[in-house]
Structure 1
Amino acid sequence: MMQHKNLSAAPSASTESNAHLRLDGLTKRYGESFAVASLDLAVPKGELVALLGPSGCGKTTTLRMVAGLITPSEGRIVVGGNDITAMPPYQRDMGLVFQSYALFPHMSVAKNVAFGLEMRKVPKTEIATRVKDALAMVRLETLAERKPRELSGGQQQRVALARALVIQPSILLLDEPLSNLDAKLRDEMRNEIRDIQQNLGITAVFVTHDQVEALSMCDKVVVMKAGKLEQIGTPVEVYEQPASPFVASFVGRTNRLEGMAKGDGTIQVGTIALKVPTRTRGPVDIMMRPHRIRLLEATRDPADDSTNQIHGTIKRVTFVGDLLQYHVDVEGSEIIVEAASDHGRGIRNVGMPVTLSWRVEDTMVFGRSA
């Protein structure tokens, strides 16, 4: 009863056979509650996969089970064809970057990066070479003797990344590594982490609650809700073909209206009849992305077959730098429209009657219980 193809099915056989990391029915229970429930996931070698969802959805618990820091209640963790579910963390050949960076404050940058190699009894001459190479990779070779307190947040993040990569792990795990950085640094580090991951060809799993990070950095996005998998797909798939209203609203901004589908390609929303790209029948939710709605001068001319038009009144205008957000009242419901700010020119005023127009194909339709 929904327009959009559900992409959350198990990976194909070819994906399974190419998987470097595979989770089979991975589950974590605390008493009667499930933190993660029967999660299946296949990550091909060299891909960067995001675990995306709100706080409490189970994404960090999943990452910590993969790292060996939490014991699964059920299921298997398989790397390179080998079951590592019962293997201790230090034998798993994984590099982990924590949200808090977890640097040793009394050690220099070089000593922090060298720590994992020293624990593995790597020869000193090799340690020196690998530390130098790792610091060069994150552009910190000139800061090798500084202490963490003498570094900026972005530099500390680079040290944590170098420390995770210097051991040459099979898999890189990143637990919300950018959440402590300001917006500009987050943008820079997103690009740096992605570039390093691609240059090394390393398999990586990235935990985040930020949909921009997931969409811009990763090959695949795993959307989670309440411990369960909602959808797996490429960034384009989860954005353009969300499997549920939750995915649609969490991965990008949306407007949401309730209506009754007639089965003839139209949906009745109050007194408004909207055209939709499906012949669903019964109660539905419809969703539209704010940036795909055009704000026009008020008109009563009928829309053509490829567009919807509805009429309303501007109730609020919000300036968001490069965007203007218009909050439009339509029969008691609020619809948000986003438009380029254009140097502050042409801003429409509160109280102005307007027409909202969007393509029929940009209407997302999801069946719901009556």
Structure 2
Amino acid sequence: MMHQTIKGSGVETVKDPYLCLEGVNKKYGLIEVISNLNLEVRKGELIALLGPSGCGKTTTLRMIAGLISPTAGKIAVGGRDVTHIAPHGRDMGLVFQSYALFPHMTVARNVAFGLEMRGLSRAEIGVKVTKALGMVQLEHLAGRKPRELSGGQQQRVALARALVIEPSILLLDEPLSNLDAKLRDEMRTQIRDIQQQLGITTVFVTHDQVEALSMCDRIVVMKGGLIEQVGTPHEIYEHPATPFVASFVGRTNRIKGIRNADGGIRIGSSTIRSAVSAEQGDVMVMVRPHRVQIDWDLTRAERQDETANRIAASLSRITFVGDVIQYHFDVDGSEFIVEESTMKSQADHHPGKQAMLSWSVEDTFVFGANQ
């Protein structure tokens, strides 16, 4: 079953929610950066706040942490209203994008800092710090200073410092954005493994769709201070609720069409169909590049499966992207990209060559032209 929000309301009811945001707004003067945000997070769930810069995801995280106060609305954890409680009273661990480690302290002292502020004994602190560093595989670097560590190691220290206080909620503010691609892959796996091992409720802010899709139980897609859609990675990718979600989470082709009374969608001289109904008139058709098949033999293409959507196209250019080849076609004056594995040959394909493109009716997203 598909679960999604209605744009702007952010309403998705979950069973036994642990973290709840109800009607949360945030204004800076006359500028509203978060509008009527409602969100429920299950205990032990990892969710991503995903969206472009300026969409309000970090502001939302900072309100959950208590670093800034909402203009209106309520934030509750385990049924307890924490809206006006200071950060240190919320039992949350926060990992910043910039790591925010103390440069004059060793790794062990950085991790121990929160425990020292809580007045634990030296013996208790020692046990907990060793355990936290063990989780992130940094016990052997306990005596080093932050400047002696790599970016990935510093990020793991910041994670250990957030976890050592055993918070009820872990908040991660784009923690991987300063790492190179290989380290991001490694840290994604490590963070997810630790989160599942501890069963800790986690909110993860990112603008990277790969991080959200690969790490999280659910994704909250945001735009302009509103929630566009909430759902599992599969729901968000396969059943986008808006054109923005379809284009932001994964690559898509966009092409204008006109929906007829019989449900068919006219694009130039071709007519295609979708599995989802829409109103008559101008529509926006979206199709993911890797879901499209190319048939260069036009004679054979005419005899192909009539249940698939098919449309004539002219090749404009070819782009090699390592693991895939991108074929750029002209379809009724619009660019239409098809991606194929580099295992397939691109021999004898040149600009101007004609082809027939086909894809499943179920892979056809259709939205109103004004959405």
TM-score normalized by structure 2?
0.95
Work out the CA distance in 2 between the residues paired with 1:136 and 1:209. Answer: 29
In structure 2, the partner of 1:352 is 353
Cα gap change, 1:6 to 1:129, in 2 (>3 Å): closer
Q: Partner letter of residue 98 of structure 2?
A: S
In structure 1, the partner of 2:286 is 287
Cα gap change, 1:73 to 1:138, in 2 (>3 Å): same
More divergent stretch after superposition (354-363 vs 262-271) = 262-271
Unmatched 5+ stretches in structure 2: none
In structure 2, the partner of 1:141 is 139
Map 1:56-75 → 2, pairs under 5 A: 56-75=54-73
Cα gap change, 1:222 to 1:181, in 2 (>3 Å): same
- Offset, 1:346: 4.6
**2:30 aligned with 1:32:** yes
List per-residue Cα deviations over 1:31-55 (Å, max 9, x = no partner): 2221111100000000000000000
Q: Partner letter of residue 64 of structure 1?
A: R
Work out the CA distance in 2 between the residues paired with 1:196 and 1:223. Answer: 24
Q: 1:247 aligns to what SS in structure 2?
A: helix
In structure 1, the partner of 2:363 is 362
1:67 touches 1:92 (CA, 8 Å); kept in 2?
yes
In structure 2, the partner of 1:7 is 4
List per-residue Cα deviations over 1:143-188 (Å, max 9, x = no partner): 0001111111111110000000000000000000000000111011
Work out the CA distance in 2 between the residues paired with 1:152 and 1:353. Answer: 51
- Offset, 1:263: 3.0
Q: Partner letter of residue 109 of structure 1?
A: V
Map 1:1-370 → 2, pairs under 5 A: 7-9=4-6, 10-12=11-13, 15=14, 17-280=15-278, 281-300=280-299, 301=302, 303-342=304-343, 346=347, 348-369=349-370
1:262 touches 1:279 (CA, 8 Å); kept in 2?
no
1:99 touches 1:178 (CA, 8 Å); kept in 2?
yes
- Offset, 1:361: 1.2
Q: 1:191 aligns to what SS in structure 2?
A: helix
List per-residue Cα deviations over 1:9-59 (Å, max 9, x = no partner): 4223xx2x5111000011101122211111000000000000000000000
Q: Partner letter of residue 284 of structure 1?
A: V
- Offset, 1:343: 7.8
Q: 1:184 aligns to what SS in structure 2?
A: helix
Q: 2:298 aligns to what SS in structure 1?
A: coil
Work out the CA distance in 2 between the residues paired with 1:363 and 1:70. Answer: 42
2:315 touches 2:327 (CA, 8 Å); kept in 1?
yes
1:27 touches 1:74 (CA, 8 Å); kept in 2?
yes
Work out the CA distance in 1 between the residues paired with 2:332 and 2:298. Answer: 16
Work out the CA distance in 1 between the residues paired with 2:303 and 2:285. Answer: 21
Cα gap change, 1:310 to 1:31, in 2 (>3 Å): same
Work out the CA distance in 2 between the residues paired with 1:348 and 1:285. Answer: 29
Work out the CA distance in 2 between the residues paired with 1:246 and 1:263. Answer: 26
Report percent identity of matched pairs. 60
2:275 touches 2:362 (CA, 8 Å); kept in 1?
yes
Work out the CA distance in 2 between the residues paired with 1:265 and 1:115. Answer: 63
TM-score normalized by structure 1?
0.95
1:312 touches 1:329 (CA, 8 Å); kept in 2?
yes
List per-residue Cα deviations over 1:202-261 (Å, max 9, x = no partner): 000000000110011000100000000100101101111101000000011000011110
Q: 1:188 aligns to what SS in structure 2?
A: helix
1:6 touches 1:243 (CA, 8 Å); kept in 2?
no
Q: 2:171 aligns to what SS in structure 1?
A: strand
Work out the CA distance in 1 between the residues paired with 2:325 and 2:42. Answer: 41
- Offset, 1:347: 7.4
Cα gap change, 1:347 to 1:166, in 2 (>3 Å): farther
Work out the CA distance in 2 between the residues paired with 1:153 and 1:343. Answer: 38
- Offset, 1:302: 5.3
2:45 touches 2:201 (CA, 8 Å); kept in 1?
yes
Q: Partner letter of residue 72 of structure 1?
A: P
- Offset, 1:351: 3.1
Q: How large is the RMSD of aligned CA atoms in angstroms?
A: 1.7
